[in-house]
Chains A and B, each alone.
Chain A
Amino acid sequence: MIDPSIFLISLFNGLLYASVLFLLSSGLNLIYGVMRIINIAHGNIFAFGAYACVWLLIFYGIGTLPAPAWYILPPLLGGVVAAAIAMVIEPTLLRPVYKRPEEFQLIMTFGVLLVLVDLMLMLFGPLPLAAREPYFAMGVVDFGGINYPVYNFLIISLGIAVAVFLWFLIYRTRFGIMLRATSLDQTMAQAMGVNVRRLMTTTFAIGAFIAGIAGAYLAIKDTATLTLGINTLVLAFIVMVIGGLGSMKGAFVGALIVGYLRVAVTLLYPEAELMLLWLVTAGILLARPQGLFGGR
């Protein structure tokens, strides 16, 4: 009864949304897990990566770089710029508030969000920036009469790649052990010789880097806009809350749930999309306040 091509497209769209959301919320969860801070500004770091990447493509990329490099260098720049911002913000603005009540930390990241929004305006201007050639250059796949962009698979693969990378980082490296120790008990980790300050800055930078490259890849497809950060963040929040704060597994599963919810709602009743998502969130929180995989 369901048109097979619609089915396939929905299947992959769900993975696409989930991928982007996972990329964003994995960083959020990483940061929360170690530092117990909810980084409201994460969406804008994501947007900064997007802008940096597109900017590079527009001014230096498409003309001068060979085609394959389009898919690697500019997004990498996006990630690097995002990580750089993180490494500036964390020691100067966030560290002073670690010992303060968490509400102040939330307000602080909100302040950072506002500053970043205008910084982007200053650097990149008020208009959306587009550099979509790499997106089109990858061509399309024919699903029974409907064309589906190949580029989307790139983003899906990115999501999977980052998931694998994070899993490896957290569970198979020394850094990961230190990370997990610190997120369980900071004082003990310090007593065991972990340089907690440096770990936190690094973690923040990693989370930002992932957000940056995610933003970059997405912007190639969708263009970079000033509101990109805020809109996507809000969805990433939903994922974080559904999956459980600080849980990677939760981010993964939550992203899939929200991704496919979006697909379903878009097919059936687009106007209600946001409302439905938030209501589902509220519902899950009522039934299970710590989210699906949250511990605290």
Chain B
Amino acid sequence: MKPSEIFRHFGAFPLLAVFLAIAPALMQIGVLTEFHINLLTYGIVFGLAGLAFNILLGYGGLLSFGHAAYFAVGAYTVAMLYRYLKIENLEILLVAAILTSMVVSTFFGLVATRFTRIFFAIISLALTQVVWATTLKMYWITGGSDGIRVPHMALLGIEFQKTMNRPEYLASVFYYYVLGVFVLATLVIWLIIHSPFGRALQATRDNEVRAEFIGIPVRRYRWIAFIISGTFTGLAGALFAVLNGHVTPEISDWIFSGNIVFLTLLGGFRVFDGPLIGAIAFIFIRQYAMGYTIYWELVLGAVLIALVLIFSKGIMGTLYHYLGLTPGMPSLKTPAITIKANIPIQALKERG
């Protein structure tokens, strides 16, 4: 494949993948610090969450304000399995997290996909609040507002936690583990987006009515997309639990969901590699902004407003636009034209 073709199909991912792969080496030679690696890891985890979220937004045309729910379900699954069953094998925990978030997103999705657009956003918000309320109030299982502490775990059966201290672990083996999981997940999501299902989903985004009129079961496909999206978000949450070392209820509320929305928009929801860039940018901006001012939310809000008003394509979207490339642009639905029947004027008058 020629470089331009690689770029067209996979966007900035190959370049990023290379950079991320050599990052720890860069740390060894002093270009990056351990702290940077740590931030990058958060970036990758949130990038996965954003990628998953964008299945629904960019490709399905559905804005969810409730993805924190699945993130939290994944994270809390890991934390609680560790706490109560003393499981320290990350693979087992990840599989469990995938299963639980799949179950939750199946049920939540069933409810949520009965609605579209604004109602969908509201009901997804409502559902994540249920999760938030549960994690907060059922303190005897979830630790309440104190949360649960999660130590570093055995990777691929090797008990690194016994030989390394936490910072070392996070900056080396765990980093590569997360990167590996991320790359695998990205490939799967890429495949799904570029499959017949993915294209049909985009059709439902662009024109729901027409999609129905060619025989696509719109609601069912949205439900399936919802489940896929929620499951990968849960996977991200599970990784987060180990990375962060601590899970608390605030990763399940709608404000946290808002962060996922933000980073996706920041990177560009119209392109496949947008969410990852957005996530990394988000993590770094947040870190440095917090160093300069306590008014971090003001910055976030202002940037978000700017994104909506001016830069709705996000970082990558704007970049691609200026480069004149179109790696399959998804977009939010503009007011859709539907079939109109011409009801006679006198009838309109009668109905007042």
A–B contact, 8 Å CB criterion (strictly below) = yes
A111 B297 Cβ-Cβ under 8 A: no
Q: B52 within 8 Å of A by Cβ?
A: no
Please indicate the chain A residues that have their CB under 8 angstroms from the CB of B114 in the complex: 285-286, 289
Cα A275 to Cα B295 in complex, Å, equals 31
A108 B298 Cβ-Cβ under 8 A: no
Q: What mask results when residues 269 to 286 of chain A are scored 1 for a CB within 8 Å of chain B, else 0?
A: 001111100110110011
Give the distance to chain A from B292, nearest Cβ to Cβ, in Å.
13
Binds B, one of A15-23, A54-62, A63-71, A97-105: A97-105
Binds A, one of B148-156, B233-241, B279-287, B303-311: B303-311
The 5 closest A-B pairs by CB, nearest first: A114-B301, A274-B133, A111-B304, A118-B298, A115-B301
Cα A117 to Cα B63 in complex, Å, equals 23
Please indicate the chain A residues that have their CB under 8 angstroms from the CB of B334 in the complex: 101
Contact of A272 among B111, B129, B137, B255 (CB under 8 A): B137
Give the distance to chain A from B91, nearest Cβ to Cβ, in Å.
32
Please indicate the chain A residues that have their CB under 8 angstroms from the CB of B138 in the complex: 271
Please indicate the chain A residues that have their CB under 8 angstroms from the CB of B321 in the complex: none
Evaluate whether A114 and B300 lie within 8 angstroms (CB atoms) in the complex, with A102-B118, A122-B295, A237-B122 already known: yes
Please report whether the interface of chain A is mostly helix, strand, loop or mixed according to DSSP.
helix
Closest to B261 in A: A107
For residues 59 through 114 of chain A, which have their beta carbon under 8 Å from a beta carbon of chain B?
A: 93, 96-97, 100-104, 106-108, 110-114
Closest to B115 in A: A289
Please indicate the chain B residues that have their CB under 8 angstroms from the CB of A100 in the complex: 308
Residues of chain A having any CB pair with chain B under 8 Å: 38, 93, 96-97, 100-104, 106-108, 110-119, 121-122, 230, 234, 237-238, 241, 271-275, 278-279, 281-282, 285-286, 289
Cα A104 to Cα B265 in complex, Å, equals 10
Q: B218 within 8 Å of A by Cβ?
A: no
Please indicate the chain B residues that have their CB under 8 angstroms from the CB of A278 in the complex: 126-127, 129-130, 133
A121 B294 Cβ-Cβ under 8 A: yes
Please indicate the chain B residues that have their CB under 8 angstroms from the CB of A117 in the complex: 297-298, 301
Range, interface on chain B: 35 or more
Cα A118 to Cα B132 in complex, Å, equals 23
Q: B106 within 8 Å of A by Cβ?
A: no
Closest to A285 in B: B123
Contact of B297 among A96, A118, A275, A289 (CB under 8 A): A118
Give the distance to chain A from B42, nearest Cβ to Cβ, in Å.
20
Cα A110 to Cα B304 in complex, Å, equals 8
Cα A230 to Cα B134 in complex, Å, equals 18
Give the distance to chain B from A25, nearest Cβ to Cβ, in Å.
13
For residues 119 through 150 of chain B, which have their beta carbon under 8 Å from a beta carbon of chain A?
A: 119, 121-123, 125-127, 129-130, 132-134, 136-138
Cα A234 to Cα B296 in complex, Å, equals 22
A-B contacts, 28 of them at CB < 8 A, read: A93-B305, A96-B309, A97-B309, A101-B332, A101-B334, A102-B117, A103-B63, A103-B117, A104-B308, A104-B312, A108-B309, A110-B261, A110-B301, A111-B302, A114-B301, A115-B301, A118-B298, A118-B301, A119-B298, A121-B294, A121-B295, A121-B297, A234-B129, A241-B126, A273-B133, A274-B132, A278-B133, A289-B119
Closest to B119 in A: A289
Evaluate whether A241 and B122 lie within 8 angstroms (CB atoms) in the complex, with A110-B261, A230-B255 already known: yes
B332 A104 Cβ-Cβ under 8 A: yes
A115 B305 Cβ-Cβ under 8 A: yes
Cα A112 to Cα B335 in complex, Å, equals 24
Please indicate the chain A residues that have their CB under 8 angstroms from the CB of B335 in the complex: 101
Q: B258 within 8 Å of A by Cβ?
A: yes
Evaluate whether A118 and B332 lie within 8 angstroms (CB atoms) in the complex, with A230-B255, A275-B130 already known: no
Cα A171 to Cα B116 in complex, Å, equals 31
Q: B194 within 8 Å of A by Cβ?
A: no
Give the distance to chain B from A244, nearest Cβ to Cβ, in Å.
11
B298 A271 Cβ-Cβ under 8 A: no
B126 A282 Cβ-Cβ under 8 A: yes
Cα A108 to Cα B308 in complex, Å, equals 6
Evaluate whether A106 and B304 lie within 8 angstroms (CB atoms) in the complex, with A114-B297, A118-B298, A272-B137 already known: no
Please indicate the chain B residues that have their CB under 8 angstroms from the CB of A289 in the complex: 114-115, 119
Evaluate whether A108 and B129 lie within 8 angstroms (CB atoms) in the complex, with A38-B118, A102-B117 already known: no
A108 B305 Cβ-Cβ under 8 A: yes
A101 B333 Cβ-Cβ under 8 A: yes
Closest to B122 in A: A241
Cα A106 to Cα B261 in complex, Å, equals 11
